[in-house]
Structure 1
Amino acid sequence: MHGTIRRMISLFAYIKSKEAVEYGRMYKSAFTRESPLNFENSILIHINKHGLTNHMELRNYFKKIGKISISKQAFSKSKEKLNPNVFKNLNNHLLTKFYGSNEVKKFKNHLILSGDGSKSTLPYNKTLENIFGGIINKFQELTSVAINLTTIYDCLNGFIIDLELDKYKTSEKELINRNMDNITKLDYLKDTKKIFICDRGFPSIEFFNYLLEKNEKFIFRIRKNSYKAEKTIMKTNDEFIDININKTRLNHIKNKELKEKLLKKEKLNLRITKITLPTGEEEHLISNLNKKTFTSNDLKELYNLKWGIEVSYDSLKNLFAIENVSGYSEIAVKQDYLSQILAYNIVNDLENTAQKILNQKTQNTKDPKPKKKKINKNIALGIIKEELIKITRLTEENTQKEKLIELIQEISKTYTQTSTTKSPRKPKRAYSTKNRTNNRKSF
């Protein structure tokens, strides 16, 4: 618990620091005058976002801090002063503290990082359409304004380490390359062993080579018809083979220098593992993990961890309301998306600590029919968004600590539970999807 509390207090202090203000200015004269919309409030309004109208977001925020609300026009104008990348900077500050602690979960001394992409829709607006484009139907008509985004997610610790977003037509492969470049520049991950996991949309000769040159470990799922010629010479379901590099496999690469460089290599020696699923279907993985340290069962387990990134996208869209943007400019969209990545990681840190407390309580009970208890993220999010801003306004560190402890203790009492013993199957019933109690929002 103390590690999380120290990180939260450090983050609150950093938001108020001159360093953060300097980083967060779009220009030198920004945030130099006394105003209700100073730098600190601008940051916290974004973190506290509920997916409501700007008027209600501002009303709710300023009501919490005991000040008169300002107009949505003033808010829109102030957004032009705020550098969206300041939220990446704040996120890195938080994650530096976490990955420098002894709380980090690893698999055989490796961080397990997953990369994946998602389409994300925005409100229809002509300006947003001109900036980002969107989804077009067979009649060449725009059906919705949308963007493409990719993230790097820590599968065991639950943090989103990096996000990149761009126009809808931007390929996910291009965005994931930006993510990888960003990751290599993070000081807190430089000396850490990592395994990158990606799905079928990302494998390519150039990506394999990029990771090999960076001395990074990886697992990709590949299609059954990928590298057919190489698979035919496999004698077992798990072995290293040479992946031939030829012009056909590099046709999509526009960079001539990269093409020539890869052709000179002629081949890459990689491991292909065929895994049989419970359904009888076969799944093919390609990696550079050595067989002595990582068995085929390890690879299967590691690839299954990738599911966490899918859950994170669902939370961002449906709980954090990341798509309900507060402005119709490129800067506004980036501010909203990047601020909610920071909000997600704050919630995850507090939730992880609450889960540890809950686990300890569960272990200490002598229930003959034990139940698996998990923190309810929806309720946890509602509580955190309700209380966190008030805690940031406290001036005494000891009082902040006390309130954070109370907050974590409260979250630990909000959980869902499932029995660890199997119960007889119940017949399926058709339920109305409207107004379902398990879909209610917590704020």
Structure 2
Amino acid sequence: MKVVQKITSPLDCPAFIAAHRQNPQDFTRRRQLTFKNLVLFLLNQPRTALQTELDQFYRVLNQASTETQMVTAQAFCKARKKLNPEVFESLNRLLQQQIDCFGLRQKWLGLRVLAVDGSTVHLPLESTMATFFGSHSGFPMARLSTLYEVADGQTLHSLIVPLTVGERDCAHLHLEHLPADSLTLFDRGYPGHWLFALFAQQQRHFLMRLPCGYNAQVKAFLHSGQVEDTQLFVANHPEARLFCSEAGVDPASQIELRLIRVELANGESEVLLTSLLDREAFPAEVFAELYHRRWGIETDFRRLKQTLTLDNFSGRSVTAVKQDFHAAQLLKNLALLMQHLLQPVIEQRHKGRKLRWKVNFTQGVSRLKNTLVELLVRHCAQGLSNVLALMAKSLSAVRSGRSFARQRKRAASRGCEGYKPTR
């Protein structure tokens, strides 16, 4: 409950409001759509018709027995233009600080395991979207990138940027948000000498997969048959040296890194590269399972796009898209925090079962619709207890070790933007 109170307390603070409004005169008059109400409404994930969502929101907010039209959809669209989307990023930072303060982080051999990855999302079919974010195959599209905590699923930092900003550029922007005692996982789209040098410069650790033909060193390592080797990496290619200069690191720097061979079940080999050089503290055999944990960030994008229907934006402006994206990240983090706190209770309750069980994320988020508004406004301990009890009864079995070939059964559908589902 203290975490919830910490999240909502800044919403009434004049300094916080001033820092997250678009203009000095915004939110200075007392109206139904106050700064706090606007933030809470967007956090409540309006995905159906706006007027329906608004009427339901104010019924819950005012504890009324019936719905009345307190605010029109047109008034909401006008008010949201005053709100800086960064407000949800600030609230998420407060949430992460509270998780740190309560000691809820899990570590792997003394390190917090993070992951960085990117994706894309289709945007409303507006010319302003294509102009700002860019387009692909004629459809407006934006690039997403997140810094993700593997153990508990929390998103520490997220970006929604134009397509011209590459995934590796986004990784650079995430670096300042890395905790000191962390190890970051990357897939094979990220390796670059400038990134190796930045991690060395900031005294942070990483583990990433390398393409088998990344450079002559990697090819020679594969042919040698060795399980692991420690080598010096330098930027020999002119383009690699240019990237180093642009990133603000010395192109002539030599970085000592560790190569690790992993044999896959299909007989193929993959190569991992890490800055963890201590072979006694971090033996080679632990890295295959560790790298596999990166898959959590892939399923996290699925949560955003499928469960939270991210591409069903509540507005058609750049500001609206950014607001919805960062609000969805904060809601997802709150839901996963509740799941994380419930997990020991669930495991104790089902310890005699063959499979491990966890809270079903879709059901967990569904329980928070409108209920989260009450929890954030009235801080009701009984209400929170009821929500947690409902979540604890909506479980899914964890079936580890399963593997399926990726295949697309039908063409991707973007739906019909002219219609919204009923609630």
TM (norm. structure 1) is 0.84
1:442 to 1:212, Cα distance in 2 relative to 1, 3 A: farther
Partner of 1:407: 387
**8 A Cα contact 2:46 2:314, kept in partner:** no
Q: CA–CA distance in 2 between the matches of 1:68 and 1:393?
A: 20
Residue 273 in structure 1 maps to residue 268 in structure 2 = no
Partner of 1:133: 134
Residue 237 in structure 1 maps to residue 231 in structure 2 = no
2:366 to 382, 395, 398: 382
Structure 1 range deviating more: 303-312 or 220-229:
220-229
Partner of 1:262: 251
Q: CA–CA distance in 1 between the matches of 2:238 and 2:299?
A: 36
Partner of 1:313: 301
Partner of 2:357: 373
Q: What letter corresponds to residue 262 of structure 1 in structure 2?
A: P
Count of residue pairs the alignment pairs up: 400
**8 A Cα contact 1:111 1:193, kept in partner:** yes
Q: What letter corresponds to residue 128 of structure 1 in structure 2?
A: M
Residue 28 in structure 1 maps to residue 24 in structure 2 = yes
1:15 to 1:285, Cα distance in 2 relative to 1, 3 A: same
Partner of 1:64: 60
Partner of 2:348: 360
**8 A Cα contact 2:244 2:251, kept in partner:** no
Residue 14 in structure 1 maps to residue 15 in structure 2 = no
Partner of 1:285: 272
Partner of 2:93: 92
1:421 to 1:40, Cα distance in 2 relative to 1, 3 A: closer
Q: CA–CA distance in 2 between the matches of 1:201 and 1:421?
A: 25
Query: How far is the alpha carbon of 1:256 from its aligned partner?
Result: 6.3
Partner of 1:177: 172
Residue 166 in structure 1 maps to residue 161 in structure 2 = yes
Give the fraction of aligned pairs with identical amino acids, expressed as a percent: 21
Query: How far is the alpha carbon of 1:42 from its aligned partner?
Result: 0.5
SS in 2 for 1:241: strand
Residue 224 in structure 1 maps to residue 212 in structure 2 = yes
Structure 2, unaligned runs of 5 or more: 63-67, 403-408, 412-420
SS in 2 for 1:412: helix
The 5 A counterparts of 1:420-435 are none
1:252 to 1:55, Cα distance in 2 relative to 1, 3 A: farther
Query: How far is the alpha carbon of 1:198 from its aligned partner?
Result: 0.6
Query: How far is the alpha carbon of 1:102 from its aligned partner?
Result: 2.1
Residue 79 in structure 1 maps to residue 74 in structure 2 = no
Alignment RMSD: 2.6
Q: CA–CA distance in 2 between the matches of 1:293 and 1:70?
A: 60
**8 A Cα contact 1:25 1:81, kept in partner:** yes
Partner of 2:331: 343
Residue 206 in structure 1 maps to residue 177 in structure 2 = no
**8 A Cα contact 2:194 2:244, kept in partner:** no
**8 A Cα contact 1:272 1:286, kept in partner:** yes
Q: CA–CA distance in 2 between the matches of 1:110 and 1:197?
A: 12
Q: CA–CA distance in 2 between the matches of 1:419 and 1:122?
A: 34
CA shift digits 1:332-381 (9 cap, x unpaired): 11111111111111111111122222112113xxx4x5332221111111
Q: CA–CA distance in 2 between the matches of 1:345 and 1:442?
A: 26
1:257 to 1:370, Cα distance in 2 relative to 1, 3 A: closer
**8 A Cα contact 1:230 1:241, kept in partner:** no
Structure 1 range deviating more: 76-85 or 351-360:
351-360
CA shift digits 1:123-151 (9 cap, x unpaired): 21122122211103xxxxx1x11001110
Partner of 2:150: 155
Residue 45 in structure 1 maps to residue 41 in structure 2 = yes
Q: What letter corresponds to residue 167 of structure 2 in structure 1?
A: E
Query: How far is the alpha carbon of 1:278 from its aligned partner?
Result: 1.6
Partner of 1:193: 181
Q: CA–CA distance in 2 between the matches of 1:382 and 1:274?
A: 43
**8 A Cα contact 1:238 1:296, kept in partner:** yes
TM (norm. structure 2) is 0.88
Q: CA–CA distance in 1 between the matches of 2:401 and 2:118?
A: 36
Q: What letter corresponds to residue 261 of structure 2 in structure 1?
A: K
Structure 1 range deviating more: 288-297 or 6-15:
6-15
Structure 1, unaligned runs of 5 or more: 137-141, 423-430, 434-440
**8 A Cα contact 2:199 2:205, kept in partner:** yes
1:25 to 1:249, Cα distance in 2 relative to 1, 3 A: closer
**8 A Cα contact 2:235 2:241, kept in partner:** no
Partner of 2:405: none
Query: How far is the alpha carbon of 1:252 from its aligned partner?
Result: 5.9
Query: How far is the alpha carbon of 1:115 from its aligned partner?
Result: 0.3
1:123 to 1:152, Cα distance in 2 relative to 1, 3 A: same
Q: What letter corresponds to residue 22 of structure 1 in structure 2?
A: A
Query: How far is the alpha carbon of 1:178 from its aligned partner?
Result: 1.1
**8 A Cα contact 2:27 2:34, kept in partner:** yes
1:420 to 1:240, Cα distance in 2 relative to 1, 3 A: closer
